[in-house]
Structure 1
Amino acid sequence: MSPARNRFGRRPLLLGGVALVAVIAAVAAALAFNRSGDVSNAEVEFQPEPTPAAVATPEEAPRRRVKRDDFTWAHYGYSRDRRHHFPAPDIRPPFRRVWDFRSNLLMEFSPVMGQGRLYLLRNNASLYTLSSRTGKVLWKRKLGRLAASAPAYADGRVYVTVLERGKGKGGRVVALRARDGKELWTQPLASRSESSPLVYGGLVHFGSENGTVYAMRARDGRVKWRYKASGAVKGALALDSGKLYFGAYGGKVHAIRQSDGRPVWTSTTRGLRLGTGSGNFYSTPAVAYGRVYIGNTDGKVYSFSSASGKLAWTRSTGGYVYAGPAVATVPGGEPTVYIGSYSGSFFGLDARTGRVRWTHRAGGRISGAATVVGNVVYFANLGRKETVGLDARNGRKVFRFGYGSFNPVISDGKKVYLTGYTSLFALEPVSARGSRRSAGAASRRESSAARSGRSKRTERRRRRR
């Protein structure tokens, strides 16, 4: 090769090197990596929200029967964006046990609630309906062979996804009348499903193991649209601003339009060697502050822009993250993501940056999602079979209950309903019991005073006669 050809031949190589350096510099400017390989991208938009108004604790009027309870905990995670946050500050430890429902079968998911009833799906695909006041079984239905999801409640109906309708068979979706358990419609599925359904706009949404995401008409089960994801969709779908968000096996997070299933964006963790992993998304996402928060089996928690899918941050936990996050801003606190992992640690993370605010060493694997009720965040310790409550602001332990494995609690503003491994417990704040006693005593005093006043008036009338 002549010197001239060699000189001109090297120029593109040098220019290419300069371009590569520029690209690397641009990436480095956008993404900051720490020693654990985590990512923080300050350019991704974050939308702070005011602290949500507290849900008023229902008051029990003396000598007055409440014919119907209109409170609903309609979906897994309480709200359709799956934040797992119920702002009821009066519901806090210590608790007393009001009733319990015991069985010998696994209860992996907490119930949903509507019209004063709890709808609980057990691992053998049996749906139980209990009175929230007494724990009495009102009706039950066997819907298949296996189940691993929570039902959904809407407009007097209960919707259930079944993992297996029979041995070696795919799953199915069932709609039942909430009042008496009458089956209204059923649809068999080509594969299994453990995706807790979401009901909105007359449609029932859920994923399945073959990667198909469905939208079925709530009134008759007819399929309106399907979307094929990158892999199995095990977790539930979250809804916010007209878009459905979910993770899939294959390391991708999807955003699609709720109305017609058309894709909006897809983000991947595969092939991104700088600080990100290539695991599977089993976790159910939570959507808040313009972000999507979701855990991955690569041991990281991810935050994406809900508008664009751009990666905002990752946070390593030291173990598989099957759990879905709870996201909340409690009074006196900051926007925080609450999540546990198989490392045996439970984290409070800065929702904007992913920075660790505090860590609680649980000493056992954490598989299920946490729930924030009032100012307390509850999670179940699968390793120790217990439920723990922490002050959501600082991680200080304020509650422990010797039952619990996966997804622990829901609340109706009067009681907490805690799911153990095979049992369901209704717990009432001790202060609430004292308040009712005080109200009852006050009512009795008022009644006594009224009777005394009536007696004195009657005696005066007699004397005038």
Structure 2
Amino acid sequence: MLPPLSRLFGLLALLALASSGAARAADWVHWRGPAQNGHSLEKGLPADFDPALKDKGNVVWSAPFGGRSAPLVMGGRVYVVQGFGEGLSESERIVCLDEKSGKKLWEHVERIYHSDVVSSRLGWTPLTADPATGYVYVNTTAGNLVCLDKDGKEVWERQLTEEFGRFTGYGGRVSAPTFDSGLVIIGIINSSWGDLARGANRYYAFDAKNGNVVWIADTGPPKSTYQSNPVVAVIGGQRLLITGGGDGALHAFKVRTGELVWSYVFSGGAVNPSPIVDGNLVYCSHGEENPGGGVIGKVICVDASQIDPATKRPKSVWEYSKGQRFGLSSPALADGVLYVPEDSGELFAFDAKTGKLLWKYRYATEVRGAPLVADGKIYIFDVKGRLNIIKLNGRKAPDEDETFVYIFKESINGRPVQTETNGTPIAVNGRVYFTSRTDLFCLGETGSKPAAAKYPAPPAEAPSDGKVAGARLYPAEITLTPGGTYKFSVVYFDANGRELKAAPGAPVEWALPLPDKTPTGAQPPALIGKVAGSPTEGALELGPNPAQQGIVAFKVGALTARARVRVAPKLPARTDFDKAPDGSSPGGWINTNAKFAVKKLPDGNQVLSKVNDKAPPPLAKAIGYVTVPTASDYTIQADLMGSEVRGKLPDGGIVNSRYSLVLDGKPDAKLQKRTLRLTSWEARERINIGVPFDWQPGTWYTLKLAIELKPTAAVLRGKVWKKGEPEPEKWTIEFEDPHPNRDGAAGLYGYIPNVLDSGGKTEPGSELYFDNLSITPNNKGGK
């Protein structure tokens, strides 16, 4: 049940006020610091260190919790996210430590699944936090957006892959969340359902208190995965979220509504670095091809106070493009100088106002981590185990003889090996914090007393005129089950997205209209149910239909708003696809449009087919998610058939609680036969068990996967047999996972690896069909 509207307005107003100023000086809750520019105002920071000498070597403390991102400091605690464990225990965790002593206070573990990211790239998304509540937010590699309280207790979680169709690639480029104005905002590349089924770079704003969706913004088709983390700034009196995107552009949205204010396309590929804002000026860089050709890579500065009314594009102030790739590290800004690392390890310093190149300094050969500018020094990692502390020399190039370099070394069986370092240092409360691959360090000058620096207040927003400029429904998207009633609140806001209590006195309309057409041109039906309400709230009463999706629409005077509603099936759930229109995707499923489609076979049987004429990986390989992510303790069964094309079969299977039972289309290298495989995290063999099963093209098989939950483990049991034959008593494959996934959406998996795409001509690959899907609770009571 939602809170009364008056209480909701009050909560959001307080949160907006709490986040309208800079973070407290004693907190570092954005990975680029209180000013979000990589510049710390701390003084008396060490120019060198030696872990072997401990406090005499300026090392206040260290702890065995390394990582790839920047630490977070809030309320006397330090937080890091990291990959840890090996084999079956390999996971991610958020670790909380005491800021003064480095003592571990708690840890929260998250399993890995639904990702092509390998273990060496885990924990690469910085944390964000709300100092007012003490809540910490993390986006895990598996796509869990998690809110933890200061004691490590989970407050809420959203599964971005199973709920919104998030996609990740091998490179580990996943964007981090940003907290502001009572919202947790994150950018993802996804393919959801309905009008959001088309693959795009989208931004989702979640209520920081409970995880409800507040708004969704769409920027268009991505060029690839990306890792630009948003910043928040007030420009021209407007509070804006500014970020690079997977579509090659720099975007600015109104923080509280998601309304796109301006865009600046400047890259032919994805934009990975995070932007920096200084007054009206916005800086960013990339390492891809440039639109219109020319050399690779660019640094830009735009004036976001001067927007072309026709193109919605800010004015270009200066740009630098001479063939350097500025694509994998983010810049820093301090005292009028913009510091931009080039991918090969050369640091460029520009006059921030004019773009004049002041100097270049070679410090490495390969970089990912961003620079920290603090106390007249730059702290910056390279990939190959080196932390450089570069003494600045005004506007002149640094002196190499005054640069301190520490090389982190590891050994395996007594032999030295290179350690990879990709993190970004931070400086807060008179201390420097950073992670190597294996450890978290706190540095401080011997005998110094930590003191928090004071940061200037950010620009103020323009005062509200009290006029209603728009309305939205809250939540903006929700997943429900058949039957029952749900209430939506109507939120009115001014031109800058701030909530207003007054509601217009015009007549009110609530409706369940036809949704927008899907990207394939199909017209989905309207939601089956009833909706009615007042100017401040509406009640949706759903029918018993097992799976559907649609829109709730609201209108008062000239103001309109809508919310997306997905109705997921309750368990038990069964479908044979006979009632679905030919060419459609199942209603209420995630990540199926343009990837799966209902098809009538020559024998008259209507089935679900995996689309086999799309070569890009996000389309060739996909899981269609059927239930809600909290489904657990159930059994899934489905029929499957594949065809052989150019000597190859597809991969196809079923998904239960983030475990996949797959008929592998390629022969096993050792067995020289096709196999039945049980997997969990495809990029790593945390679980990857295969048994010979030489399945044949053109033959229907039945697959069954049951997950039995135990107090400290899960027993996975899968079997396969020819359709129509008696079900075998013995399971084909069994495994006990001591580090189990305890819930997860049921789904169907398909991969067509042999689509030919050459010279603009596409030749379809193998066919893959599914039929007679059933998802049933186990005897002990699934949900």
Q: Same fold (TM over 0.5)?
A: yes
Within 5 Å, which residues of 2 pair with 1:179-218? 179-191=100-112, 192-200=122-130, 201-218=133-150
CA contact (8 A) 1:204 1:217 kept: yes
> What is residue 545 of structure 2 aligned with on the other side?
none
2:177 aligned residue: 237
Aligned to 1:408: 370
Please tell me the residue identity of whatever aligns with 1:326.
I
Q: CA deviation at 1:375?
A: 0.7
Superposition map of 1:23-422 within 5 A: 73=28, 75-79=30-34, 83-84=36-37, 86=39, 99-100=47-48, 136-143=58-65, 147-167=67-87, 169-191=90-112, 192-200=122-130, 201-218=133-150, 220-229=151-160, 230=164, 231=166, 234-250=174-190, 251-270=201-220, 277=222, 279-289=224-234, 290-311=239-260, 312-329=262-279, 334-342=280-288, 343-352=296-305, 353-361=313-321, 363-366=323-326, 367-382=328-343, 384-403=344-363, 405-421=367-383, 422=385
Question: SS state of the match for residue 363, structure 1?
Answer: coil
Offset at 1:136?
A: 3.2
Shift of 1:149: 1.3
Letter in 2 for 1:221: G
Q: How far apart are the structure 1 equivalents of 2:40 and 2:142?
A: 37
Deviations 1:256-280 (A, max 9, x none): 222222211111234xxxxx64644
Q: Which has the higher contact order (CA 8 A, sep 6+)?
A: 1
Per the normalisation by structure 1, the TM-score is 0.60
Change (3 A) 1:130 1:284: farther
Q: Distance in 2 between matches of 1:179 and 1:208?
A: 27
Q: CA deviation at 1:428?
A: 4.1
For residue 336 of structure 1, report the CA deviation from its aligned partner. Answer: 2.1
CA-CA distance at 1:222 after TM superposition: 0.7
Deviates more, 1:409-418 or 1:154-163: 409-418
What TM-score comes out, normalization by structure 2 length?
0.37
Give the structure 1 partner of residue 486 of structure 2.
none
Give the AA of the match of 2:140: S
Question: Gaps spanning 5+ residues in structure 2: where?
Answer: 1-20, 113-121, 169-173, 191-200, 289-295, 306-312, 396-783
Q: What does residue 448 of structure 1 align with?
A: none
Change (3 A) 1:420 1:278: closer
* Aligned-residue offset at 1:227: 2.2
Q: Deviations over 1:176-212 (max 9, x none)?
A: 1233322111111022542211232211111112322
Deviations 1:45-76 (A, max 9, x none): xxxxxxx99xxxxxxxxxxxxxxxx8765541
Shift of 1:410: 1.9
Any conservation in 2 of the 1:101–1:423 contact (CA below 8 Å)? no
Q: 1:320 to 1:279 in 2, by over 3 A?
A: closer
Structure (1/2) with the larger strand percentage = 2
What amino acid does structure 1 have at the position aligned with 2:286?
Answer: G
Q: Distance in 2 between matches of 1:102 and 1:399?
A: 29
Deviation at 1:174, TM superposition (A): 0.6
Deviation at 1:429, TM superposition (A): 4.4
Q: Which amino acid aligns with 2:83?
A: L
Cα offset for 1:171?
Answer: 0.6
2-structure distance, mates of 1:362, 1:187:
45
Closer/same/farther in 2, CA of residues 135 and 213 from structure 1, 3 Å limit: farther
Q: Secondary structure at the match of 1:372?
A: strand
Shift of 1:167: 4.5
Structure 1 counterpart of 2:356, one-letter code: R
Deviation per residue, 1:147-169 (Å, 9 max, x gap): 32111112332101113443462
Structure 2 CA distance for partners of 1:316 and 1:297, relative to 1, 3 Å: same
What one-letter code is carried by the residue in structure 2 that aligns with 1:78? G
Q: Give distance in 1, aligned partners of 2:50 and 2:203.
A: 38
Distance 1:74-1:224 versus aligned 2 partners, 3 A rule: closer
Deviation at 1:320, TM superposition (A): 2.8
Q: Separation in 1 of the partners of 2:53 and 2:339?
A: 24
C-alpha RMSD over aligned residues: 3.5
Structure with greater helix share of residues: 1
Q: Secondary structure at the match of 1:171?
A: strand
Q: How far 1:172 moved relative to its partner?
A: 0.8
Q: CA–CA distance in 1 between the matches of 2:106 and 2:145?
A: 19
Whether contact under 8 Å (1:246, 1:255) holds in the other structure is: yes
Identity %: 22
Q: 1: distance between equivalents of 2:249 and 2:339?
A: 21
Q: Residue type of the partner of 2:246?
A: T
Q: Which amino acid aligns with 2:211?
A: G
* Count of paired positions: 318
The verdict on how the C-alpha distance between 1:232 and 1:76 changes in structure 2, with shifts beyond 3 A counting, is farther
- Identify the range of structure 1 (390-399 vs 228-237) with the bigger mean alpha-carbon deviation: 228-237
Q: Deviations over 1:317-363 (max 9, x none)?
A: 2333111111212xxxx422333333321111233433332111253
From the superposition, tell whether residues 385 and 414 of structure 1 become closer, same or farther in structure 2 (CA, over 3 Å): closer
Distance 1:164 1:216, change over 3 A: same
